[in-house]
Each structure stands twice: as C-alpha cells, then as structure tokens.
Structure 1
Amino acid sequence: MAFSFDLLFFSVCSVVFPLALLKWFYAASKPQKKLPPSPPKLPIIGNIHQLGLLPHRSLQSLSRKYGPLMLLHFGSKPVLVASSADAASQIMKTHDLVFSNRPKSSVKDRLFYGSKDVVFTPYGDYWRQAKSICVLHLLSNKRVQSYQHVREEETSLMIQKISQMCSSSPVNLTEIFVTLTNDIICRVALGRKYSEEEKGRKIMENLRVFVELMGVFDVGDYIPWLSWVNRFNGLDLKVEKFVKLIDEFLEGVIEEHINKRKGEAESDHSVEARCLDFVDILIEVNKERTIGFAFGRDDMKAIILVN
C-alpha cells in the first residue's frame, strides 16, 4: 500500500513540477511591464482585506503610502486607483480610450437588462448611441431647463410640509429630502410622482432596494469560482425578485404613456403641447428609428433606470 502511495506521489510530482517550471520560465522570459506601486496582496482575495468598513478612508490611507496612482487587486481583478486631480485627468482625458471600457458585473448585468444602459454597457457602438440619446435628448441644457417648474413646485410643496409639521413635532428632514428627490425624479422621468399612493410607496421601497443592489458586494465579480455563493446567501434570489417587480412596473409605465399618446392623437391634442418626460422622449426615439440601431423596450427600461 505504501509503495502504491509513493508511486502515485512521484507520478503527480513528475507532471506538476515540469508544468510549474515551464510556467515560471515563460513568465520570466516575458518583458516585465512597469506597473504602479502596489501594496502586498494575499492569495485569492488580493487586497480586499485592506478596504475595511470605510473603503474611501482605507484607500486614502493607502494612497498616502503608495502614491496618487496605485494598483490594487480585488480578487483576480486588477484595480487602478487614482487619488489626485492630475491622475484622474490623465485617465479621464488624456488616456480616456484606454480606460473607456466598463468592468463586467453579474448583478448590474441583470438589473439593467443585459447592461443596456449607458453606464455599465461595454464601450462600443451601442454605448456611443445610448450616450448620444442621453446627452442630446434627455439631459441637454434646454431639456433640463424645461423641468425647472417641476423643481420649483416640489420644493415649494416641501417647504409647506415642513412649515405644517414644525408646529406640532420634530421633523425628519432626511426622509423629507429623500421624498423630494424621488418626487422630482419620478415627475421628470416617469411623468408623475408616486409617493402619495400606497402602490407608489411600495415602488419607492423597490427603488431603495435598487440602490442597495447597485452597491452590493458580489464575490463572483472578483473571485469567479466563488460565484456559486450567491445562490446560498440569497443575493441571486433577491436580484431575481427585484428585477421581476421593477420590470412589471416599468412595463406598466410605458404602456400608460403609449395609451395616453394615442388618446391625445385622437383628441387632436399635440403631445408637444405638454412638457415631455423621459418615457415620452424615449418612445419618440423608438418611433423615429433614426439613431442607427434597434432601440427596443428593454433598452428604454435600462436607460430610464440609470437616469
């Protein structure tokens, strides 16, 4: 039995050792790239353990030691950290094409209909077209100014609400400002606010979940062979449930706008006579088909979510 074990051990070593040696020689023969300073990393997790509970402060502390441009490793993913205005300018302006692509994220991919938004979609023709829609149609200076009355109306309502509440009890300003922000965004993007309805409050709660999921730590993004963990910690189920809820909501909003536009056409009321929200504008873009690529429902939903 001992002989058999020794023979097996020798056989394994005779295969593994030459392969390891070949890999070392191959790595040594390649020209070494000049990389930014980097703190020591651990196997498998890299520098993740150095982030702590307050990543922004941990990164600031590391940058003081390793400089304004440093290389970290989050699992198997190299991450370049710029912590000065000059370094950020080099990345965003001088070498923008080199850094223009987006890291792949399984959670964001599911949240944004296969990354069909303008933030997480890979750099390429679709990204350029989606960016063009946002810059020229949704967020142009003229369009932003057209929503000034929405901002003024909602701010005025907020001040009235605070005045009424101050006379009776302490006021939770955090909750009020969150509601103000959501009401303005909903009126601009979706055409009406939802905070005053029971159904709308559930929608606002779903949007809070959406924000949480945007910042969730997905171990599979950094250590791919551990992606199965999400099936056991509940993340996959949570994302699946949320995507279904938000998709049903957005589908209803789009159908509501389409029916409203049909009613206006039948009654000879021009759509342009009222202030268009984002959904109206995206329906127009979809209808005109002049942007150079197929722009469908999922594309509309993804861009609505990211804006």
Structure 2
Amino acid sequence: MPIHLECLSHTPLHGYFDPAPDVVAEVGRVQAAARRRVQAFDPELIVVFAPDHFNGFFYEVMPPFCIGAAASAIGDFESLAGTLPVPESLARELAESVMAAEIDVSLSYRMQVDHGCADALEALTGGLDRYPVIPIFINSVAPPMATLRRARLLGDAAGRFLSRTDKRVLVVGSGGISHEPPVPELIGATKEVAERLIAGRNPSAESRAARQARTVAAAKAFTVGDSHLHPLNPEWDRAFLMCLAAGELTAVDGMTNDAITRDGGKSAHEIRTWVAAFAALAAYGPYRASLDYYRAIPEWIAGFATMHAVPSNALAAAA
C-alpha cells in the first residue's frame, strides 16, 4: 500500500530565541508545504521515528529502540501536550514483527514523548491527534547507543511490516543534523544531575523552567560565538542528506558513533531517526527524494533540514 516520507528537523527554541524574521518565515513556508503534502496524501497511519531528550526515557532503563503501544506528549518548551491516538494492537504487531526480524526493540504502554516527536506531528498535521500514530523512540543522546546500521535495520524491519498492511502510511523522521545543545551527560555528572538523568520523569514546573532557561542562555552564547558547544557543520550535513537522497543507505553503516560526535556534535546522533525512516521507505522499493530545505541556524543550535520522498513507482503511476 502507499507510503510517503517526511523528515524534518525540530527545535525547542522556536519562540524562545529565534533567528531573523525572514528565516523564521522561511521555515514556516517549508513546513506549510510539507503539511499540504501530508493533507493530500491523507495518511491512515503515521509512524514517527523520534529521539528523546531525557524527558520520557532515562538511564533507569534506557532501551536503544522502543515502540509505543500507548503514549502521551509532555508539552516541554510549549510543544503540544496530550494523548497520542496509538492503535494499540497494530503497535504490538509491529513490535512482534520487528523482533521476529531479530531487531531487539522494547514495547511501552506508557511512553512519554517530548518536543522531538510532538513538534513533528504539529508541523506536519497541525496537531497530535489528527491521524492514528505509532511513535518509535530511538536513543540518540544517552551513550551507549546502537549503531546507525542497527537504526537502518530497525527501519527496514518496520517498513517490511508496514508494506504488508492495507494502510496509507506516513513515515516520519524527526531530528537535527549537526547540533549540540546543552544536554547533560551521566559520566562526570553531579549527584543531582545524575539522579535527573536516571529517574527524572515528571519534573516540577520550576525544574523544567530552569532547564529551559539554561537552553535559551546556551543558544544566545552559541550565536555570538561564546560557547564550548560543537559548531554546526553544513558540509557534513549536506553530505549526509545527499546520501539519503541518493538511496545509498548502507553507506551509513560505516559511520561510527565517535565519528558522528566528532563531525556533527553530540546530538547529531538524531540522524538515526532519518536513517530509520528512509530505510522503512526503502523496504517498499526504490524511491525518489527531495531536499526541500537546509540552513545552518545558530540561534536554534541546529543544522535545520526538511526532506520528503515517495516510492519511484508512485511517481510513474502519477505520470
């Protein structure tokens, strides 16, 4: 059955610390175009590959991958909050199929997603509950992390399952390219920070506000060049995006975690979500992809991009 792909960067800083108005408008136009594509496709199911930023997943139990059979969005950084309309039985069947393909994945009946998932749904659909949605978490900030090859194989296994359904599926990858916002690390952390990384679910409003203030302050320092954070790397970003566009997905298998951190920054590991989404699409067969937007946006500490893709046979049928 039909499949459509949208991959896009997200930022929690939109509205808190923005680039010039023309850049904000530019991003808005690109996202509006993506939303129109989604509306025209009219999906019967959305599968979102998304990271988390120590809001829903913690070192108490940190799986490399997790499928949500029930999920809610927490509303951090004023992102949308509420229950996601997850088709429970289908999510469970997806998990069973992925496990049968020998990809170890967890299943959650109380998944919490943050802006990494919610922002993509809002940008593409205008809400959290416009369509049935299955969130798939990919650990992208908490070492040790699965390799890009495993993320690719996860997407491939999910795509093969989805191709056997009778649904129009929108597959989404939500994540930054090169970027390194101030996400804390467990190694060397103070006792207080370590506890938050291990078991920090449902923080107080004051704690969340303080965390958001630290992120905004870091973005302001980064923009004026007064920061230790990894610089954005547009050349690396574009090379990765062109690899996806060319359909050369196995080429990412050789990208080590150390190399990703070195070249793109500690949060560039979110490219796993793009790899998994494209692998799910590729499970349907050859595809045609379009790089719709790219800009390095220091105010948002992100290489910011948007791509969409469809199976080649869908284009031929439409011709």
Q: Could you say which TM-score interval applies, normalised by the shorter chain?
A: under 0.3
Using CA pairs under 8 Å that are at least 6 residues apart, name the structure with larger relative contact order, 1 or 2. 2
Considering only CA atoms, is the larger Rg found in Structure 1 or Structure 2? 1
- TM-score for both structures, normalised by structure 1: 0.26
- Which structure features the higher share of helix residues? 1
- TM-score for both structures, normalised by structure 2: 0.25
- Which structure features the higher share of strand residues? 2
